[in-house]
C-alpha cells in the first residue's frame, strides 16, 4: 500500500530545505537497483518481500531480461526522521559503460550521490568513472559498501579478515578521490602562479623554489569517506540490512556506558575495548586484540548468519528475543534460510533508514548549491563568469537563493527527453467510475439487452411459414435492413478502434528536468535556449525585462513554448502536477517539438544556456540501417528522428552515400537502439549492415628492417616476379616525385605550380592536436571574426592563455632541424579545420598565421593572398579522405615548399616585359580587402611611367576584369577550383611517396576473472588481436584484473564469446581509448630472397592491414585488387605437363 499521497508530495515540494536530489552511481552489477528497491519499499510502493527481486525502476522489458539498467529513472520518496520530513528525489542510473551518458544526465540534476561499491569486487573501472563524473559536476558523494553478505557466505572470511578487507576498499576509494582532489589543487595553484608571476628575490639573490604544491595547506578532510564522519553505510541490499556506525554507537553507549560521541570516533580504527577497565585503548594490532568494529559489530552479524544458515533454532530464538523483534511463522518455516535472514535483518538494521538518514544528514539541499557550481553551469565553452553580461551575472543570486517567489526568474534545465507510451500518461489512464456512472451504464446495458430480446422475437415471427408471399418479401427486406445497420455499426466500431489504437501507440516525450529557480506552472510560456544561444547578443535586441508572452523579434537559438503538462516522476508512473517550486526534479510534457536532447528553459532572456553535459563514452560503433520493404522508408526516417531525441548518446546521420547511419557507444547500446527502432519508434522490419568500423590513414618513417628482421639494403634483391609497391602507385605524367618524397604538380592550365612534401608528425603532437580540437576550433572562429573585422573584444584572457600554452607545447614537441620555425608557419589544421593534421607553408613572399588571435596578425598582401583559401580547401579535402581507402588522415604534416603563380603579370600589363613587375606586386594591405580591389591601382601607376604605344586602361575595374578573364574563365573551369583539385592531388601523391599505414581504433578492455578461467580469457584475446598490458591480483580475493587493448574491428561478439568460454565467470568492460598504427604494410610484397623463403612467392599469408583496407574499399564500392578464379577446372600437376 502506498503510504504517501500525491497531495502530501506537493506539500513537501514547497519546503526547499527538506528536499534531497540524489542519484545512485556504481559499476555494473554492484546493486544500485536492488538498493533503490529497498528504499522504494520503505514508502510502501512495493512489498518489502519483493525488494531486490522486482527491480522496480528497471521498467523496460530488455532491462529485466538482461538484468542491467539501461536508462536513468527517477522516483520521489517521503522520509520522516524525528520531527523532520524530507522529500527525496532518487534517480537510479545505469552502471554499464555503454550507458554512461545516462549517468551524466542524472548527475546534472542532483546535488548529491550515493556511490555503491561491491564488497567483494571493490573499486572497478566504472566506479572511478562515476566518481569522476560526480566530481566534475561538483556534487557531494556518500558511500554504501554493498553485498557484505558475500564476504560471509561466498568468501567465508572471518570477521577480522572482513574488517581488513573493508579497510582496503575504503583506502582504494579514498585514493581515487584523492587523485581528483590533488589535480584540482595543482590546477588552482598553477592559475594563481600565472596570475601573480612575481619572482621572490631573496637577500642573497638566489631564487628560492617552493617545492610544496599547496596540498599541505588545503583542507581535504571533508572529501574522504570514513565511517566516523557518518558518510559510509555497510549494507547488504538483497538481505535488506544496512547500518552506519552511529546506530551501534547509540546502542552500545547505553550498554557499556561510554558516550556515543566517543564511540563514533573509536568504532572504526585501531581501538580495542579493555573489558576489565571498561576503557577504550589504542593499538589493537600490536597487542593482538580484536578491534572494536569486529568485536561489537561484525561478530554479531557473523553469528546471526551462522545461526540462520545452519538452522540453529535455539540460537535464532535467543537472538530474536534479545533484539526484541517479531518474526512471522511463514518466514521462520520457509525452506530458504535467506528469507528468514531477510526477515530478521530488515527489522533489526533496516537499510532504508540507514541510507536515507545518511542522505538527509550528509548531502546538501538545493539551497546549499555552491557559487562555484553555479558559475561552472553558467559559463559555456571558454567564457569566464566575469565576461558574461551584467544582467546574466545578476541571475547568480537567483540560483543561490533557489527561491520560489513570484518575482524570481524561472530557470529550468532539461537533461534528456524520454519516450513514454501515450497510455501511461495520467490523463489517458483508466480511472475508477463513480456511483452515478455505474448506475448509468447498468441502465444502458439493460436497454441493450431488451432490444436484443425484441429483435430475436421478431426474427422468430418472420421465420414462421406463411402462405402469403408478400409477407415473405417484407420479412426479408426487414432482415437485410437490420443486417446493413449491423454492418455499418461494425465498420464504425472498427474505424473508431483503429483511431484509438493509433492514439495509444503514439510515443509521447517527457522532458527530464530540474527547476533551479522560480516556480514552474502548467500552461506557462517560457523561452527555450539552445546550446549556442548567447545572451550578450540577444540583449541588444531585447530588453532584459521582456517576457515570453510579448511579441519578440526573432533571436537565433531561442524559441518560445508553452509547458503543457507537469509530471511527478514516480518510477513507472507519472502523476499530474499544477506547479513545481524551485529545487525539484520533474517531468515536462509537450516539449518534443522544441527540445532535441537537452536545453535550458527560462523566463529571462539574460539566462545563459547551461554547460553541455560531459559524456564519458564516445560513440564509435556505426551501422547502416534500411527498411526491409522500401515503402517503409518514411516510417524509418521518422523513427530515427524519435530515437535520436530519446537517447542522449546516439547519433543519427545520413552519409554522403545516402545511407542512414546509427552511431552508438557499444554493442549493448546498439542492440537497445535497434530494438527501440523496430518495436517503438519506426515499427517496421529493418535490415542492419555489419558494423562500419572507422580507420585512419597515416604515414611512417621508412622501416629499418624488412619483414624477416633483416637490415634493409644489406641483402640481395631477387628478380621480382610480380608487382612491387612502386609499380602499384604508378605516378601519372606531369607529376615529378623526388627521391626524398617532394611532389611537384601544375594546375591544368599551367598557371600555377605546387611542391608538397608529407611528413609523419610525432605521436605527442598528434595526441596534443586531438585533445585540443575544441581550442583549435575556437582559434579558427576568432581568426574568421578578425578577418571580417568583427568586434574581437570578447576574447578573454583565459582563452588566450590556453592558446599560448598550446603553442608552447607544440614548440616543445616539434624540435630539431626538420621542424625549424614549423609552429609559426602553420597555415591550417585539418580535416574540418580542427583535425590532427597540419599544413605548413615554407616559401617566400607569403605570410599568414593561425596564431592571429595572439596579436601577431599579419596585415600584408601578396600575389598569393587571393588564392590561399583554395590551397587550404584542397588540404582539407585531402585530409578528409586518404588514398588507401578514403578514410580521414591522422598525424600527417604537409609542407608547401614552392608555389609559383605564372603569367599574372602578362594579364595585368600589356607588354610582355612588364610580366616580371606584375609578378612582384606586393602591396601592404589590410587582410580583408582582396587582391583584385587594390593591386591594379599600383599597376596603373607603374604603367604610366613606361612609354608604351598602346593605351593603358586606367580604371581598376577593367584591369581586374582582364586578369579575371584569363585566370577564371578558363576551359578548365575557375582557377580557384583548379588549385583546390591540384592541391588535393599533390597531397595524395606526397602521401603515397612515403610508407603508408592504417590506424585502427582501439578499446581498452578491463576483464575481471578468477584464476581457473585465465587461460581461456587469454585465448579469446589473442584470437582477436588483443594485447595484454597488465594483470594484477585483487588483494584478499582470487580475482585477477586483466588490462588489455583490443581493436574495435575485432570487438564484435567479444563480450559474448568471453562469457561463453568462461561460463560467465569473466565479463569485459570496453571503452574507446586511442588510435594505433597497424604495423604491417598493406601494400607489402616479398622482394628479397629471405622474404621469398619465409613467405613464399605469393606471400598470401594473412596481412591484417590489407584485410582491413580491402574490407573498407569493398564497402565503399572502390576498386579492390583480388585474384578471382574464373575457370575452376581440375588443377593439372606440374610434373605431367600435357
CA dist., res. 356 & res. 112, Å (int): 12
The three-class DSSP label of residue 638 is: helix
CA dist., res. 366 & res. 402, Å (int): 7
CA dist., res. 586 & res. 580, Å (int): 8
**515 contacts 586 by C-beta, under 8 angstroms:** yes
pLDDT for 721: 44
Element (H, E) at 868: helix 868-880
Say whether pTM exceeds 0.85.
no
Instruction: Write down the H helix ranges in 677-736.
Output: 725-728
Residue whose C-alpha is closest to residue 115's, from 96, 89, 134: 134
- Our measurement of the distance from residue 381's CA atom to the centroid of its chain's CA atoms, rounded to an integer in Å, reads 17
Residue whose C-alpha is closest to residue 41's, from 303, 465, 350: 350
Element (H, E) at 938: helix 931-945
Residue whose C-alpha is closest to residue 691's, from 661, 669, 651, 668: 661
CA dist., res. 751 & res. 866, Å (int): 14
CA dist., res. 23 & res. 18, Å (int): 16
Element (H, E) at 897: strand 892-901
Please give the DSSP secondary-structure letter assigned to residue 468.
-
Element (H, E) at 963: helix 956-968
pLDDT for 795: 64
65-97: b or e for each residue (b if 16 or more CB lie within 10 Å)? Answer: eeebbbbbbbbbbbbeeeeeebbbbbbbbbbbb
**723 contacts 675 by C-beta, under 8 angstroms:** no
pLDDT for 600: 93
Kindly list the distances between the CA atom of residue 667 and the CA atoms of 128, 640, 1056, in Å, as whole numbers in the listed order: 22, 18, 10
Q: Quick one: cell of 762? A: 610525432
Q: Which residues contact 638 (CB under 8 A, 6 or more apart)?
A: 681, 682
Q: Which residues contact 626 (CB under 8 A, 6 or more apart)?
A: 633, 636, 659, 660, 686, 687
The maximal CA–CA distance of the chain, rounded, in angstroms, is: 140
Q: Which residues contact 231 (CB under 8 A, 6 or more apart)?
A: 141, 142, 143, 225, 358, 362
pLDDT for 910: 32
Q: Is cis: bond before 831, omega within 30 of 0?
A: yes
Instruction: Write down the H helix ranges in 722-867.
Output: 725-728, 763-771, 773-787, 797-813
Return the bridge partners of 1021, or none: none
**483 contacts 364 by C-beta, under 8 angstroms:** no
- Our measurement of the distance from residue 911's CA atom to the centroid of its chain's CA atoms, rounded to an integer in Å, reads 64
CA dist., res. 28 & res. 396, Å (int): 37
Averages of pLDDT over runs of 10 residues in the chain (1138 residues) are: 79 92 94 93 89 89 91 94 92 92 92 94 89 90 95 91 92 91 78 56 45 58 85 94 92 84 87 78 73 91 93 90 87 87 92 95 92 86 74 86 86 93 80 83 92 87 55 47 57 56 69 94 91 79 65 78 92 90 93 90 89 84 93 93 92 87 92 93 93 91 72 54 47 77 86 89 90 86 73 64 86 83 85 88 78 63 73 91 91 89 48 35 35 36 37 38 46 84 90 90 91 92 92 82 93 92 88 89 78 69 83 89 68 58
Please give the DSSP secondary-structure letter assigned to residue 655.
-
What is the CB neighbour count within 10 angstroms for residue 259? 10
- Our measurement of the distance from residue 208's CA atom to the centroid of its chain's CA atoms, rounded to an integer in Å, reads 45
CA dist., res. 1015 & res. 304, Å (int): 39
pLDDT for 890: 93
Residue whose C-alpha is closest to residue 135's, from 334, 468, 372, 477: 372
Amino acid at each position: 500500500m502506498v503510504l504517501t499521497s500525491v497531495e502530501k508530495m506537493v506539500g513537501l515540494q514547497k519546503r526547499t530545505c527538506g528536499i534531497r536530489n540524489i542519484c545512485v552511481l556504481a559499476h555494473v552489477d554492484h546493486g544500485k537497483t536492488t538498493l533503490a528497491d529497498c528504499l522504494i519499499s520503505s514508502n510502501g510502493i512495493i512489498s518489502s518481500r519483493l525488494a531486490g527481486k522486482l527491480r522496480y525502476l528497471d521498467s523496460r522489458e530488455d532491462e529485466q531480461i538482461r538484468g542491467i539498467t539501461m536508462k536513468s529513472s527517477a522516483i520521489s520518496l517521503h522520509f520522516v526522521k524525528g520531527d523532520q520530513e524530507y522529500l527525496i528525489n532518487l534517480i537510479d542510473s545505469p552502471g554499464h559503460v555503454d550507458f554512461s551518458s545516462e549517468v551524466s544526465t542524472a548527475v546534472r540534476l542532483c546535488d548529491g550521490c550515493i556511490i555503491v561499491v561491491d564488497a567483494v569486487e571493490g573499486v572497478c573501472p566504472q566506479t572511478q568513472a562515476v566518481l569522476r563524473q560526480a566530481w566534475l559536476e561538483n556534487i557531494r558523494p556518500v558511500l554504501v559498501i554493498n553485498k557484505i553478505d558475500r564476504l560471509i557466505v561466498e568468501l567465508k572470511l572471518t570477521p577480522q579478515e572482513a574488517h581488513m578487507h573493508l579497510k582496503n576498499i575504503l583506502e582504494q576509494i579514498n585514493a581515487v578521490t584523492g587523485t581528483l582532489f590533488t589535480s584540482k589543487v595543482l590546477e588552482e595553484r598553477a592559475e594563481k602562479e600565472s596570475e601573480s608571476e612575481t619572482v621572490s628575490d631573496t637577500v642573497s639573490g638566489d631564487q628560492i623554489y617552493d617545492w610544496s604544491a599547496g596540498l599541505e595547506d588545503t583542507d581535504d578532510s571533508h572529501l574522504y569517506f570514513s565511517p566516523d564522519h557518518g558518510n559510509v553505510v555497510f549494507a547488504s541490499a538483497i538481505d535488506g540490512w544496512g547500518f552506519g556506525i552511529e546506530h551501534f554507537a547509540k546502542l552500545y553507549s547505553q550498554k557499556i556506558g561510554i558516550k556515543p560521541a566517543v564511540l563514533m570516533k573509536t568504532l572504526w580504527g585501531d581501538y580495542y575495548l579493555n573489558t576489565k577497565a571498561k576503557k577504550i585503548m589504542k593499538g589493537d594490532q600490536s597487542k593482538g586484540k580484536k578491534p572494536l568494529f569486529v568485536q561489537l559489530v561484525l561478530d554479531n552479524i557473523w553469528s546471526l548468519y551462522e545461526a540462520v544458515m545452519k538452522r540453529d533454532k535455539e540460537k535464532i530464538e535467543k537472538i530474536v528475543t534479545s533484539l526484541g523483534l517479531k518474526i512471522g511463522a511463514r518466514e521462520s518455516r520457509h525452506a530458504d534460510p535467506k528469507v528468514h535472514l531477510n526477515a530478521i535483518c530488515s527489522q533489526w538494521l533496516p537499510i532504508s533508514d540507514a541510507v536515507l538518514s545518511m542522505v538527509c544528514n550528509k548531502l546538501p539541499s538545493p539551497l546549499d548549491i555552491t557559487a562555484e557550481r553555479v558559475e561552472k553551469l553558467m559559463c559555456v565553452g571558454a567564457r569566464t563568469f566575469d565576461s558574461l553580461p551584467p544582467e546574466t551575472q545578476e541571475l547568480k543570486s537567483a540560483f543561490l537563493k533557489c527561491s520560489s517567489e513570484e518575482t524570481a526568474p524561472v530557470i529550468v534545465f532539461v537533461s534528456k527527453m524520454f519516450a513514454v507510451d501515450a497510455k501511461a500518461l495520467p490523463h489517458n489512464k483508466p480511472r475508477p467510475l463513480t456511483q452515478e456512472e455505474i448506475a448509468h451504464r447498468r441502465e444502458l446495458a439493460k436497454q441493450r439487452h431488451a432490444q436484443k430480446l425484441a429483435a430475436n422475437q421478431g426474427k422468430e415471427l418472420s421465420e414462421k411459414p406463411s402462405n402469403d408471399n408478400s409477407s415473405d418479401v417484407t420479412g426479408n427486406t426487414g432482415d437485410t435492413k437490420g443486417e446493413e445497420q449491423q454492418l455499418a455499426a461494425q465498420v464504425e466500431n472498427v474505424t473508431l478502434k483503429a483511431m484509438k489504437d493509433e492514439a495509444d501507440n503514439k510515443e509521447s516525450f517527457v522532458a527530464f528536468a530540474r527547476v533551479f529557480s522560480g516556480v514552474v506552472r502548467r500552461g506557462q510560456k517560457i523561452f527555450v535556449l539552445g546550446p549556442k544561444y548567447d545572451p550578450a547578443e540577444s540583449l541588444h535586441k531585447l530588453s532584459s525585462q521582456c517576457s515570453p508572452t510579448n511579441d519578440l523579434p526573432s533571436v537565433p537559438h531561442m524559441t518560445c513554448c508553452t509547458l503543457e503538462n507537469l509530471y511527478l516522476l514516480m518510477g513507472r508512473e507519472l502523476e499530474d502536477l499544477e506547479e513545481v517550486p524551485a529545487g525539484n526534479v520533474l517531468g515536462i510534457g509537450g516539449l518534443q517539438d522544441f527540445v532535441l536532447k537537452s536545453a535550458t528553459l527560462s523566463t529571462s532572456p539574460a539566462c545563459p544556456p547551461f554547460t553541455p553535459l560531459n559524456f564519458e563514452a564516445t560513440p564509435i560503433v556505426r551501422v547502416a540501417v534500411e527498411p526491409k520493404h522500401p515503402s517503409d522508408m518514411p516510417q524509418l526516417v521518422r523513427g530515427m528522428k524519435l530515437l535520436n531525441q530519446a537517447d542522449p548518446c546516439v547519433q543519427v546521420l545520413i552519409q554522403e552515400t545516402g545511407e542512414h547511419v546509427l552511431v552508438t557507444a557499444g554493442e549493448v547500446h546498439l542492440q537497445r537502439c535497434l530494438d527501440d527502432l523496430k518495436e517503438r519508434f519506426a515499427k517496421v522490419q529493418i535490415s542492419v549492415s555489419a558494423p562500419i568500423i572507422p580507420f585512419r590513414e597515416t604515414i611512417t618513417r621508412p622501416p629499418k628492417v624488412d619483414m624477416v628482421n633483416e637490415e634493409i639494403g644489406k641483402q640481395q634483391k631477387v628478380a621480382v616476379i610480380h608487382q612491387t609497391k612502386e609499380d602499384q602507385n604508378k605516378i601519372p605524367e606531369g607529376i615529378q616525385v623526388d627521391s626524398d618524397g617532394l611532389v611537384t604538380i601544375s594546375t591544368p592550365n599551367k598557371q600555377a605550380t605546387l611542391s608538397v612534401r608529407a611528413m609523419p608528425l610525432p605521436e605527442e603532437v598528434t595526441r596534443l592536436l586531438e585533445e585540443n580540437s575544441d581550442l583549435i576550433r575556437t582559434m579558427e572562429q576568432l581568426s574568421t571574426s578578425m578577418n571580417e573585422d568583427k568586434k574581437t573584444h570578447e576574447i578573454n584572457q583565459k582563452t588566450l592563455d590556453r592558446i599560448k600554452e598550446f603553442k608552447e607545447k607544440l614548440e616543445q614537441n616539434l624540435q630539431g632541424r626538420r621542424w625549424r620555425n614549423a609552429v609559426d608557419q602553420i597555415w591550417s589544421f585539418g580535416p574540418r579545420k580542427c583535425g590532427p593534421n597540419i599544413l605548413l607553408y615554407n616559401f617566400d613572399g607569403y605570410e599568414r598565421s593561425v596564431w592571429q588571435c595572439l596579436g601577431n596578425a599579419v596585415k600584408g598582401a601578396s600575389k598569393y593572398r587571393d588564392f590561399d583559401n583554395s590551397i587550404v580547401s584542397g588540404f582539407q579535402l585531402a585530409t578528409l579522405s586518404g588514398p588507401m581507402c578514403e578514410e580521414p588522415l591522422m598525424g600527417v604534416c604537409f609542407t608547401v615548399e614552392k608555389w609559383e603563380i605564372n603569367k599574372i603579370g602578362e594579364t595585368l600589363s600589356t607588354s610582355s616585359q612588364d610580366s616580371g613587375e606584375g609578378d612582384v606586386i606586393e602591396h601592404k594591405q589590410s587582410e580583408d580587402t582582396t587582391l583584385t580591389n587594390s593591386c591594379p591601382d599600383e599597376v596603373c601607376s607603374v604603367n604610366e611611367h613606361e612609354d608604351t604605344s598602346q593605351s593603358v586602361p586606367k580604371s581598376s575595374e577593367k584591369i581586374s576584369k582582364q586578369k579575371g578573364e584569363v585566370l577564371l574563365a578558363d576551359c578548365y573551369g575557375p582557377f580557384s577550383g583548379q588549385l583546390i583539385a591540384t592541391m588535393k592531388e599533390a597531397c595524395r601523391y606526397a602521401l603515397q611517396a612515403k610508407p603508408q599505414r592504417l590506424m585502427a581504433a582501439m578499446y581498452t578492455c578491463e576483464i575481471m576473472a578468477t584464476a581457473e578461467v585465465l587461460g581461456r580469457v587469454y585465448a579469446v584475446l589473442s584470437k582477436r588481436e588483443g594485447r595484454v598490458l597488465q594483470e594484477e591480483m585483487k588483494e584478499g580475493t582470487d580475482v585477477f584484473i586483466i588490462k588489455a587493448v583490443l581493436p574495435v574491428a575485432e570487438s564484435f561478439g567479444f563480450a559474448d564469446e568471453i562469457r561463453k568460454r568462461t561460463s560467465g565467470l569473466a565479463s569485459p568492460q570496453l571503452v574507446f581509448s586511442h588510435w594505433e598504427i597497424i604495423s604491417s604494410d598493406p601494400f607489402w610484397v616479398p622482394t628479397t630472397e629471405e622474404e621469398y623463403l619465409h613467405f613464399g612467392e605469393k606471400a598470401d599469408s594473412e596481412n591484417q592491414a590489407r584485410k582491413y583496407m580491402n574490407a573498407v574499399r569493398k564497402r565503399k564500392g572502390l576498386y579492390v585488387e583480388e585474384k578471382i578464379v574464373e575457370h575452376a577446372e581440375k588443377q593439372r600437376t606440374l610434373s605431367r605437363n600435357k
